[in-house]
Amino acid sequence: MGEPVKVGIVGCGKISEQYTATLTKLPGLVLYAVADLDPARALATATETGARSLSVDDLVDACDLVVNLTIPAAHTEIALRAIAGGKDVYGEKPLAATLDEAKTIVAKGSGVRLGCAPDTVLGTGFQTARHHLDAGLVGRPAAAVATMVTAGPEPWHPDPDFYYRPGGGPLLDMGPYYITALVTLLGPVVSAIGAASRTRDERVIGSGYRQGERLPVTTDTHVTGVLTHASGALSTLIMSFDGAASRAPNIEVHGELGTMIVPDPNRFDGDVLVHRVGGAWETLPVTAGYRDTGRGIGVYDLVTAPRPRASGELALHVLDVMESLLRSAATGRAETVESTCERPEPVALQSLV
């Protein structure tokens, strides 16, 4: 083996704790440096992990791969800065704040390896579902239903403002997990038709130092629609901050021979259940995916896989699907999804930590 890949993290917010927990354990990678707009926060992360606290420019110069954990509005700036330095980039979802910015990142990043979260689909939950789906266990997939219903983040999040502004909402927040999972299972999407609404013009923060403060709501908080996959399968999507909870499966896939329940796409593991025609519900054995892993496994996959699975191409397509769905909700007509992507390769069952 050659020298380990030097990884630098830009953005030391809450999500970085999950990344550092994974990256510090993966073979062939070393967490070399961290950077943040708040020097004290960067220093705290550096002290905890043994990495160096550097400026963004110095981090880009010193590292081989930049993990971009900044807020979505800064994703493009940091990604392009790393690409200009000839460095590989892996970013948190979404790839960029807008589809046009995402296209710029992908175009300028053609000479480097480019990856993007979510990488939850690389865990044993989704890869086991993918394995059995590809083996024909439920026959040809005809449809899928993806459901995410919550009361919104304001009961627990101390600063939930951005969830209720343009660029926020349940689809752009949680949609990347669900749509990435649907594309991984059923392939790329060619068209979308949607509808959207909001039930309230303001929300009340339920915890933290701003408890009781009222927030204006300027984006839709319930988005639903139907995605047509190139395979012919249809996926129904429900993303909502306007309920309390749902007992519907996060994702279920219906085929001519049976129905499969797929785990929560915000997790790496979970049971896969199948109900075959004339049978009963049964839990399937774990057969594929990275075992016992967490956020950041996509960085390892980006470095080691012949064709990265959590790729920039896939992330761009997912963002295109979401923007097409929102555009359809505004226009009232079906919208063509202009981009496409290769269906990611499956992951063999393996343990790295």
Domain with CATH 3.30.360.10 in the chain: 121-288+311-336
The pLDDT assigned to 14 comes to 85
Averaged pLDDT, 12-36: 95
Q: Give the CATH class of 121-288+311-336.
A: alpha beta
The pLDDT assigned to 112 comes to 97
Averaged pLDDT, 34-61: 97
The pLDDT assigned to 187 comes to 97
Could you give the angle at the alpha carbon of 224 between the alpha carbons of 68 and 242, nearest 5°? 85
Split at pLDDT 50, 70, 90, the class of 83 is: very high
Domain with CATH 3.40.50.720 in the chain: 5-116
**Nearest by Cα to 185 from 264, 131, 227, 236:** 131
Measured between its terminal Cα atoms, the distance across the chain in Å is 18
Instruction: Name the strands in the sheet holding 141-149, side by side, starting at the edge strand that comes first in the sequence.
Output: 281-283, 273-276, 258-262, 251-255, 141-149, 234-240, 222-229, 189-197, 335-336
Asked if 150 contacts 169 with a C-beta cutoff of 8 angstroms, the reply is no
User: What are 146-205's pLDDT values in tens digits?
Assistant: 999 999 999 999 889 989 998 889 999 999 999 999 999 999 999 999 999 999 999 999
Does the structure show a pLDDT above 60 at 1? no
Could you give the angle at the alpha carbon of 267 between the alpha carbons of 265 and 269, nearest 5°? 105
User: What are 218-260's pLDDT values in tens digits?
Assistant: 999 999 999 999 999 999 999 999 999 999 999 999 999 999 9
Asked if 70 contacts 50 with a C-beta cutoff of 8 angstroms, the reply is no
pTM for the whole structure: 0.95
Q: 182-195 burial string, b = 16+ CB within 10 Å, else e? A: bbbbbbbbbbbbbe
Looking at 3.40.50.720, 3.40.140.10, 3.30.70.580, 3.40.190.10, the CATH number of the domain 5-116 comes to 3.40.50.720
